[in-house]
Amino acid sequence: MHDPIESARRLFAEEICRLNRISSPAICAAFATVPRERFVGSGPWIIQSGGTSWFSEDADPTHVYRDTLIVLDEAKHINNGQPSLWAVHLDLVRIRHGDEILHLGCGTGYYTAILAELTGPKGKVTAIEIDKGLASRARAALEPWPRVTVIQADGSQGSFAPADAIIVSAGATHPLAPWLAAVKPAGKLLFPLTSAHGPGTMAHLTRASVDRFAAALESSVFFVDFAGARDPAVDSELARALQSDGGTSVRSLRCDAHAKGDTCWLHGNGWCFSRKIMID
């Protein structure tokens, strides 16, 4: 007989990939493998979708296999994240077996486990979470993935080891210098670029050279704030830029010194989202 939880997990993964046109077998396999119930605490659960919340009928783990948010800490507005959103963006990142990955703001570790599945047993995932309670829960939940190291720390501070991919799970007003510095040649940085004045967007960066990244801003997203990665002055400028075109004109991130000009979509200190395609 089939295990009903495993069947629910497999159908959940297949539906996410089918509805979002994700052709990657690795993405589908990762979501079909990682037990979401391991990372969301015991039920019944508070489930959120479309701006409404409700409790699951009972503590049956099959309830967590739906494309919805599951509340982890209602007081802090922390949830487990929407699976389809992460599936779509991780598909664009194209993580490879053996990659070294840095996951910032890992929460209880569900998407860290997805990353561990994508990078495989020869890869390495370093997960950082500032909240002591969440970090402790992540450390326990991620024990079946020995390639994962969980650190309780502020992911906006200090330096980081070079990474093939850096995945950020909370909203920033701008890319931080330590994040950019840690991206390996041809490596990726994925983070929510968010303003307090409306929906944000997901920034996809790929290192092209020492001071240049190819960039694309994809989708409309809402995320809890990344406390150490927010600047009120930048926030206001970002809100205006997002209202202008949602970031569809952005083609690159420049880290070279230059004056603000017509091609600058959002110009900051040491970084600039630019409409200019960077060609060496």
Domains in the chain, CATH or no CATH each: 81-274 (3.40.50.150)
Contact 242, 201 (CB under 8 A): yes
How high is the pLDDT of residue 1?
A: 52
Measured between alpha carbons, how far is 251 from 222 in angstroms, rounded to an integer? 22
Q: Is the bond into 144 cis (omega within 30 degrees of 0)? A: no
pLDDT along the chain (280 residues), means of 10: 89 98 96 98 93 93 96 91 98 97 98 98 98 97 98 94 98 98 98 95 97 96 95 96 96 96 96 86
Distances (CA, A) of 149 to 94, 122, 128, 160, 214: 21, 14, 8, 13, 29
How high is the pLDDT of residue 227?
A: 92
- The Cβ-side half-sphere exposure at 214, using a 13 Å CA radius, reads 9
How high is the pLDDT of residue 183?
A: 98
How high is the pLDDT of residue 50?
A: 85
Contact 220, 199 (CB under 8 A): yes
Q: Is 175 exposed, middle or buried (0-12, 13-18, 19+ CB in 10 A)?
A: buried
